Structure 1
Amino acid sequence: MTTDVTPGTDPAPNPHATEEQVKAALTDTKLAQVLYHDWEAETYDEKWSISFDERCIDYARGRFDAVATDEPLPYGRAMELGCGTGFFLLNLMQSGVATKGSVTDLSPGMVKVALRNAENLGLDVDGRVADAEKIPYDDDTFDLVVGHAVLHHIPDVEQALREVLRVLKPGGRFIFAGEPSTIGDFYARWMSRATWFATTNVTKLGPLQGWRRPQEELDESSRAAALEAVVDIHTFDPDELAGIARAAGAHQVDTATEELAAAMLGWPVRTFEAAVPPEKLGWGWARFAFGGWKRLTWLDENVLRKIVPPKFFYNVVVTGTKPR
């Protein structure tokens, strides 16, 4: 089992950006990507309720199956672009989608955590710090390339997809999920801002001050949010994203969308969790949040999908293949 970052070539994580670095990153999107994701790496799984158990295995596999239901499995070698902590690839590997994996991210901190997660799961995974617009692997290396919530961070999405097609073997497939739709991102951001404002102000009141995070932590979150506004570059109309994939040279391009009612619960819930002390939220809260999300996901898939145009859903999934 290989779980090493390439020795002597990949930079070390920088989890504590200085105020000067943050200021510089406001006009340098790739520096912002590194600083923000290094900053978040060690707490990212907790922040986004990421796990590597049945709950997230089923979720990841559901995103895969939404656009690749008839694929012969397993793939041999798969790569995750913009891996974060490995959520998508590692859970897909656990579901039987691929036997060997490679994780890549512009953030050294994220690659470090993803490799640690892979080692803890006993998965055959290696890793590289990588710019998505210039992937450091040879042509025709991978059978599958996946990513989750990564394309909207990349300045030149078409160039990144060209690179993805280059490193894929002929006939290989890519699947990118969790990309924000233009309309979905609009309502998600406004709900998040409203939730943050309401929670951080209500918890100033006497009897609710025990529900307020220390001001230092709230300030830290605000600094991270300032970088988040820089690292989130794009939103996508599903048809436009499909067009970008075709322009990059992909064949058999298809898209799907998901989460409308579920997103309208999920974003306020996540924002509220970030604004209050974690010890205040017990098992009952977790059961409410996950149970509510599951029920609204059922509503999305069985009712709203039939009557609401795809562009109104929050997440976009796109797939395509490399020509043979």
Structure 2
Amino acid sequence: MSTDPAPNPHATADEVAAALHDRKLANVLYHDWEAGSYDEKWSISYDERCITYAADRFRFAAGEGGWPYEHALELGCGTGFFLLNLMQAGVAKRGSVTDLSPGMVQTALRNAEGLGLDVDGRVADAETIPYPDATFDLVVGHAVLHHIPDVELALREVLRVLKPGGRFVFAGEPTTVGDFYARRLGALTWKAATTITRLPVLADWRRPQEELDESSRAAALEAVVDIHTFDPAELEETARRAGAGDARVVTEEFTAAMLGWPVRTFEAAVPPGKLGMGWAMFAYRSWQRLSWLDQNVLSRVVPRGWFYNALVTGTRSR
């Protein structure tokens, strides 16, 4: 029988208030709250679209060498998006997942079981990873480092549980400049969408008030759980101080982020399913085209710190 704590998907107002002063508790409550709907909220799937996305992010950071890894760990796994899609892409044969949120670990393991993947999991703090030294060939994470209070300590733990020569890849981390414009674009979109749908003619496009209120409470926790933004050079230096060999940071999404954040915010402001598959494909293909522009053209002239997503990789040298 599992000794992991049970999820708490319905945090009370008092619990939310307490979590505003405790970042780790806030992470648990927020991600337990989101676990059941997280894949839908962020358009996460475990089909070719997201398999390709995950594998492309991995290649962009680490290249092609070393596949397949025998045993991989996903730190701060969420619903398992990154590791499960990487496993389906052939990057790793066997997986383990950890997260502070019991709800997320449960969801990740359920997703893995549904996909027929060999994955186990634990509720765990990234600053004290509960595995022996030299356990894993690969450690990955997506949008997790910015939630961890002590990033350098977490990277030291990552290197400890890696085998000599093992690699880590963390993707989806917000840069400081990227976070500045993304949050403002998102806030403007939310205000516009929730204001205009008050018009009687657009009533069918407005989410029920209780759902909007719940989103606002979740946003209050989200402001606490998002601890860091990153300067690419400083993140590289943090990885080196932790002991990583070959530490490097690459960045992506400039115009793609300027589209992506308003799109995702608008999707969250209207009733689920209202926009339909046509909208989903328009948004995805537009993001693909802008990502191509960012990576193949704008990356030559735009400073890497202006892009939204940072990806960091490195190895354990001994």
TM-score by length of 2: 0.99
1:107-118 mapped onto 2 (5 Å cutoff): 107-118=101-112
Q: Can you list the C-alpha shifts for 1:42-84, whole angstroms capped at 9, x where unaligned?
A: 1000000000011001100111101221412110100000000
Distance 1:279 1:153 in 2: 30
Distance 2:111 2:56 in 1: 21
Q: Can you list the C-alpha shifts for 1:191-211, whole angstroms capped at 9, x where unaligned?
A: 000000000011001111111
How much has 1:134 moved relative to structure 2?
0.3
- What's 1:3 paired with? none
How much has 1:8 moved relative to structure 2?
3.9
Distance 2:64 2:92 in 1: 15
- The alignment-based identity, stated in percent, is 73
Distance 2:217 2:302 in 1: 36
1:125-144 mapped onto 2 (5 Å cutoff): 125-144=119-138
- What's 2:8 paired with? 14
- What's 2:257 paired with? 263
Q: Can you list the C-alpha shifts for 1:3-38, whole angstroms capped at 9, x where unaligned?
A: xxxx34210111000111000000000000000000
Distance 2:40 2:50 in 1: 13
The number of residues matched between the two structures is: 318
1:147 to 132, 141, 147: 141
Amino acid aligned to 1:269? V
How much has 1:162 moved relative to structure 2?
0.5
- The unaligned stretches of length 5 or more in structure 1 are 1-6
Q: Helix, strand or coil for the counterpart of 2:297?
A: helix
2:184 to 179, 187, 190: 190
- What's 1:316 paired with? 310
Distance 1:295 1:75 in 2: 31
Q: Helix, strand or coil for the counterpart of 1:20?
A: helix
Distance 1:10 1:41 in 2: 16
1:103 aligns with 2:97: yes
Q: Helix, strand or coil for the counterpart of 2:167?
A: strand
1:35 aligns with 2:41: no
TM-score by length of 1: 0.97
Q: Helix, strand or coil for the counterpart of 2:35?
A: helix
Distance 1:8 1:318 in 2: 33
Distance 2:294 2:29 in 1: 35
Q: Helix, strand or coil for the counterpart of 2:251?
A: strand
- What's 2:82 paired with? 88
- What's 1:66 paired with? 60
How much has 1:298 moved relative to structure 2?
1.2
Q: Helix, strand or coil for the counterpart of 1:16?
A: coil
1:219-230 mapped onto 2 (5 Å cutoff): 219-230=213-224
Deviant stretches of 4+, over 3 Å:
none
How much has 1:284 moved relative to structure 2?
1.2
- What's 2:271 paired with? 277
Distance 1:79 1:13 in 2: 21
Q: Can you list the C-alpha shifts for 1:199-229, whole angstroms capped at 9, x where unaligned?
A: 0011001111111000000000000000000
Distance 1:140 1:286 in 2: 42
Distance 1:121 1:252 in 2: 33
Distance 1:273 1:129 in 2: 30
Q: Can you list the C-alpha shifts for 1:109-158, whole angstroms capped at 9, x where unaligned?
A: 00000000000000000000010000010111000000000000000000
How much has 1:287 moved relative to structure 2?
1.4
Amino acid aligned to 2:143? A
1:170-249 mapped onto 2 (5 Å cutoff): 170-249=164-243
Please report the RMSD computed on the Cα atoms of aligned residues, expressed in angstroms. Answer: 0.7
Q: Helix, strand or coil for the counterpart of 1:204?
A: coil
Amino acid aligned to 1:140? A
1:24 aligns with 2:4: no
1:56 aligns with 2:50: yes
Distance 1:315 1:39 in 2: 25
